[in-house]
Amino acid sequence: MAKLHTVNKSPFERDALEACLRLAKKGSAVLLIEDGIYGAMSGTAISDKVKQAMSDVSFYVLGPDVAARGMKEDKIIDGFKIVDYNGFVDLTTEYDGVHAWL
């Protein structure tokens, strides 16, 4: 089963993204929401780790949370797809289940 993993915490404050990347199976997807969107930014202490994971896992980021925080879309790591809430819903139907990393 390919799962959709959601992460809502900044990778600089909590280990949720790290735990998710450690345990997400190849072919699954990670959606960064709320404070989790900081993990999608390039040029950070964690961006290399995210880029490495991209060979196995698809990455998405919730656009409304990016905009709300004043982060620029052109700073998002290449390979991320930006989705809105409709896209979030679509992802939950495309994947077999949702695992929220709290």
Partner 1 sequence: MKYSILVNEGPYTHQASDTAYQFTKAALEKGHEIFRVFFYHDGVNNATRLAVPPQDDRNITQRWSELGAQHNLDMVVCIAAAQRRGLLDEDEAKRQGKDANNIAPGFRISGLGQLIEAGIQADRLVLFGD
Partner 2 sequence: MSTTKKFLYVNRKAPYGTIYALESLEVVLIGAAFEQDVSLAFIDDGVYELTKGQDTKDIGMKNFSPTYSALGDFDVSKIYIEKESLEARGLTLDDLLDLKYEDEDDDYAEKDSIHVVSRDELADIMDEQDVVLSF
Backbone angles phi and psi of 45, in degrees to 5: -65, -15
Residues in contact with partner 1, shown as a per-residue x/- string from 36 to 75 under the rule CB under 8 A: ----------------------------x-----------
Provide the sign of the torsion angle of the four alpha carbons 27, 57, 20, 98, taken in this order. Answer: negative
Shortest reach from residue 58's CB to partner 1, in Å: 18
Residue pair 32/57 in contact (Cβ under 8 Å)? The answer is: no
Query: Contact with partner 2 (CB under 8 A): which of 12, 15, 48, 90?
Result: 15
Contacting residue, 7, 17, 24, 76, with partner 2 by CB under 8 A: 24
Which residue reads 């698809």 in tokens? 58
23: partner contacted, choices partner 1, partner 2, none (Cβ within 5-8 A by kind): partner 2
